[in-house]
Structures are given as structure tokens and as C-alpha cells.
Structure 1
Amino acid sequence: MAAVTEPLLRTERMALRQVTRSDVDRLVLLNNDDGVMRYLDWRPPTREQVVAEVEILLKAYEVYPRHGQLIAELADSTFVGWFSLAVGADGPAAPELGYRLRTAHWGAGLATEGSQAMINYAFAELEAERVVAETMFVNAGSRRVMEKCGMRHIETFHVEFDNPLPGTELGEVRYQITREEWLVARTSR
């Protein structure tokens, strides 16, 4: 069971809090959930790799304490997965949205709910200028979530992989929403 930490964000159905070392087993469970890694890798990361990833996340919180990966839980503490606003090469003004949910929670609107909350948080609290997200072209579910959140497709690109996943030949896609687009969408509701 994860150590109790205060949620950084709340949505209608979820609390989103920072990752702790006690979340390792939950993250391993998520990565081993059948179908979760379909568009990410041939096999899930090992427990040791997840431990190393958690240490990287904890160090990143020291530099950017309000960015990064957040554990998503329902009101009854059921583990849903995670959402992220990662600081990449373009810095904190253009965080990258990411999410990974257990398959039991697919199709319930939680990916859109959490992603929308992260986008709102990026613009309202983190003063982001844009939020970006990437996935494989063939990942229709993730693309649909991005579009429901007001993100638009800005490019398709190709990456060379030593052992490409099925669908890699169609490329990767990048989506984004700018602060201006977010503001217009908020005022038109």
C-alpha cells in the first residue's frame, strides 16, 4: 500500500498525488496489466527498472516539485494508474502530458478526465505556454483522449527502432494545445 500523501489535484472521480517509493508494486502491476504496454514496448520493465524509474521521478520532484508523474486513485483508494506533466527539452513552459491506466479502467472516461485536469493545471497553475503529447499513430484510444481534451495533431514523425512494434511503420504523432487555444475553449463553454 502506498504511503499517504496529499493529492496535488482532484477530479470528479480521482485524486492525483505524487509517486512514492511505496508505489513500486502498483507500478509493476500496471506495467504487467495485459495490453498496457502494447504501444510502448515488447515487454514491461522489470521491477528493478521500475525502482530506478521511481528514484528518477523523486529526484525530478526536487527540481520541478509541481510537475511530474502523479498516481491516480479513486475515492476508495483503488489504483487507476498515473498521469504526468513531464518537463522535457522545451522546459516547464511546454510540459509533456502522459498517462497509463489499468485496463479495468479503460473506456470509463478516466483518461480524458485526468488528462483534462492535467492540462487545466498546466495552464492555470504552472503557467505553461503549451502542453504536448505523443503516441504511436496506431494508438487510436490515446489519440481520441488527446482530441477530447482539445489537443490537435501537429505532426507525424518516424523514429528508428532496433525492434519496432507493430504499427511503427505508420509513425508517431505529436499533439498540442496552446495557452491561447485553452483560453478560447474555456470561454466558449
Structure 2
Amino acid sequence: MKSSIETERLLLRELLSSDDEGMFELDSNPNVHRYVGKKPVIHIDESRTAIGLIQKQYATFGTGRWAVVLKETNTFIGWSGIKFISDTINGHKDFYEIGYRFIEEHWGKGYATESGKAFIDHAFNEMKVEAIYAYADPENSGSRNILEKLGLKYVNSFMLDGEEEVWYELKNPNL
């Protein structure tokens, strides 16, 4: 796996233990969690644990969510990336999912789309994955718009843990 990816405005890199304060700012905000379980973290140790779990994913699967840092200021603004999912979700098992989450003040600036394009390029051209999948709350129009800007297509609605979700996918055009 590459050590980092640069876009016009962003540095994408593996999450570090020192990202704990940024992760806590991100995941303690109830607005950030509106469509992802409605369970914001309440202590920075939860963010530290999350970073540790993501770092284990790097070691186990060679991929995972990465920190998104503004190049201009070296500021942590959230995470994005390709995660390997070994659970069965919507009839799929052992697949690659794209995801992103940003500190609220950085919403609406195109960072999810910019980082997402870089990660899809990396997944298809470096990792040679066959397809990228994603799912979202059907009411999360912001996330759904980003997925569509990234080229993912809506496939179906399904239930996950008693909640309706929408499923998107994008096949690798190079395979």
C-alpha cells in the first residue's frame, strides 16, 4: 500500500495515533452521526480505540480508512478510504467499500469527492479490485450525491440492523 496519496488540496495518509484529537472532534459531533448510528463518542479514548482498530485493518487487509489532511495548513479534516468488509451485507461478502466522514466545518467543500476519486483510482489501478461498493441511509442526500459524483450507481434498498439502507456499486472498467 502507498504511504500517502496527494490530490490538489489534500494529503491522504494512514491514520496515526496523533490524529486522536481530530478524530474525537469528528466523532463527538451529533450532526456527523445523524446518519451513521446516532452514537457520537463521548471520550477521546473511544477515538484512540477506533484509530487502533483501523491500524489493525491496515495490517490485516492492506487497506482501510485514511486521514484526510489539508495540504495548505496540515489540518486533519476527517477520513476517507477503501475498507475491506468481511461481513455479509446486502448479499455481498469480502468486498471493498468506499466511505468518508468529515468534521462539520469542512462539509460542502468537495473534499469527500476529491478524496473519493483518488481512492477509487487507487483501488482500481493499484489494488486491482473488481468493484467498489457503498451503502448509506436513504435520507442522507449529501452522501448519496457524493457517491453518484464518484460514479457509483444505485442498485437497491435493503435492511441492515433494522434500518433501511441504499446500496451503490461501481465496477472496475479496467478488468
Question: What is the TM-score with the length of structure 1 in the denominator?
Answer: 0.81
Once the two structures are TM-superposed, the CA of residue 49 in structure 1 deviates from its matched residue by: 2.5
Verify: 1:49 aligned to 2:50, yes or no: no
Once the two structures are TM-superposed, the CA of residue 95 in structure 1 deviates from its matched residue by: 1.0
1:151 match: 152
Gaps of 5+ in 1: 1-5, 162-167, 184-189
Once the two structures are TM-superposed, the CA of residue 25 in structure 1 deviates from its matched residue by: 1.5
Could you tell me whether the CA contact under 8 Å between 1:34 and 1:103 is conserved in 2?
Answer: no
User: How many Å separate the matches in 1 of 2:39 and 2:57?
Assistant: 25
Q: 1:19 aligns with which of 15, 19, 29?
A: 15
Verify: 1:178 aligned to 2:174, yes or no: no
Once the two structures are TM-superposed, the CA of residue 134 in structure 1 deviates from its matched residue by: 0.8
Report sequence identity in percent.
30
Could you tell me whether the CA contact under 8 Å between 2:30 and 2:39 is conserved in 1?
Answer: no
Give the structure with higher Rg (CA): 1
In angstroms, what is the RMSD of aligned CA positions?
Answer: 1.9
Matched residues, number: 166
User: How many Å separate the matches in 2 of 1:49 and 1:176?
Assistant: 31
Verify: 1:86 aligned to 2:49, yes or no: no
Deviates more, 1:78-87 or 1:37-46: 37-46
Matched ranges for 1:92-171 at <5 A: 94-161=95-162, 168=163, 171=164
User: How many Å separate the matches in 2 of 1:159 and 1:15?
Assistant: 33
Partner AA of 1:143 in structure 2: R
- Give the match's secondary structure for 2:160: coil
| Consecutive aligned runs of 4 or more in structure 1 exceeding 3 Å deviation | none
User: How many Å separate the matches in 1 of 2:41 and 2:26?
Assistant: 11
Post-superposition Cα deviations, 1:71-128, rounded to whole Å, max 9, x if no partner, equal 001111122110021111243xx31101001111111111111111111110011010
- Give the match's secondary structure for 1:158: strand
